[in-house]
Amino acid sequence: MLVQDREIVLNLLVKLGFIINLKKSILTPTQKITYIGALFHLDLGMVMPTQERVLKLQKTVKEMKLKNHATARDFLHLLGIMASCIEMIPYARLHMRPIQIYLLSHWRPTSQNLELNVPITQYLKSHLILWSDTANITKGRSLQHCETHVTITTDASTSNGWGGHMDSQIIQGTWSDIQKTQHINCLELEAVLKTIQHFLPQLKGKNVLLRCNNSTVVQYINKQGAPNQFSSIKKVGIC
């Protein structure tokens, strides 16, 4: 049936005046499809980087680890390859953040050029190990949405403290005088952290849906952090 449908589609496209690019087409039915550096295993419901992209990533990471210094341009090149794998490697964006933050702590893109040398420290190398681990970068990500096992709701205010709720269980607390001076976005994120830490023994091995009424915190968590850490949260006053 699939082959018959293929012929119908091809004939219709030709009749409508389209030219089929046979070199870029896969006309034989398959459950493994390569598309823009991604390998889709439709039989497994998984997507992962192609072997070519894996080798390119590992080669770039290895070259970086062998140096004592690298230019800001080299860092951006590496981060670009990592960014291209965000949707194919589990928690790729989260593991990319320390490298972004490290670069921005040594290089200011608005006032310094791309040829500035940045030291390659042991701290940086420790965050590159995961990116050279074949088992990790070829693990793949599921194409299916994860089923939620637990829902947690959090809230915070600058005056009344913070609270968290899971099923019928509640955790709450107050802020110190110093904490009360912090931006509400920081306090809302702190409330999330404290709530998860409290319920952690019950959350291990489960998919957790977190509900928070602060859009900045929601974005921060969904994007797995930010290159400039909390500076964006302090500046953006979205509540």
Asked if 28 and 5 sit in the same domain, the reply is yes
CA dihedral (193, 198, 203, 207) in degrees, to 10, reads -30
DSSP secondary structure letter of residue 109: T
Asked if 230 and 161 sit in the same domain, the reply is yes
Under a CB-based contact definition with an 8 Å cutoff, are residues 20 and 14 in contact? yes
The string of pLDDT tens digits covering residues 106-132 is 999 999 999 999 999 999 999 999 999
Under a CB-based contact definition with an 8 Å cutoff, are residues 154 and 211 in contact? yes
Asked if 163 and 222 sit in the same domain, the reply is yes
Asked if 171 and 199 sit in the same domain, the reply is yes
Q: From residue 141, give the alpha-carbon distance in Å to each of 70, 174, 210.
A: 31, 39, 21
Last residue of a domain, one of 142, 167, 188: 142
Asked if 154 and 133 sit in the same domain, the reply is no
Asked if 76 and 129 sit in the same domain, the reply is yes
Asked if 26 and 73 sit in the same domain, the reply is no
pLDDT at 96 over 70: yes
pLDDT at 89 over 90: yes
Segment 82-106 shows an average pLDDT of 93
Asked if 161 and 223 sit in the same domain, the reply is yes
Asked if 129 and 195 sit in the same domain, the reply is no
Q: How much is the pLDDT for 239?
A: 27
The string of pLDDT tens digits covering residues 43-64 is 999 999 999 999 999 999 999 9
Last residue of a domain, one of 13, 32, 47: 47
Residue type, 81: I
Q: What is the Cα–Cα distance from 102 to 107, expressed in whole angstroms? A: 9
pTM: 0.75
Asked if 42 and 58 sit in the same domain, the reply is no
Q: How much is the pLDDT for 230?
A: 42
Q: How much is the pLDDT for 228?
A: 63
Average model confidence (pLDDT) across the chain: 90
Q: How much is the pLDDT for 14?
A: 95
Residue 151, H or E segment: strand 150-157
Q: How much is the pLDDT for 234?
A: 37
DSSP secondary structure letter of residue 152: E
Q: How much is the pLDDT for 25?
A: 86
Asked if 57 and 104 sit in the same domain, the reply is yes
The string of pLDDT tens digits covering residues 10-27 is 999 999 999 999 888 888
The string of pLDDT tens digits covering residues 133-171 is 999 999 999 988 888 899 999 999 988 899 999 999 999
Segment 205-226 shows an average pLDDT of 90
Asked if 85 and 15 sit in the same domain, the reply is no
Tell me which residue range forms the domain holding 77.
Answer: 51-142
Last residue of a domain, one of 142, 170, 192: 142
pLDDT at 173 over 50: yes
Q: How much is the pLDDT for 232?
A: 40
Q: How many domains does the chain have?
A: 3
Residue (of 163, 162, 158, 160) closest to 180 by Cα position = 158
Residue (of 183, 184, 187) closest to 173 by Cα position = 187
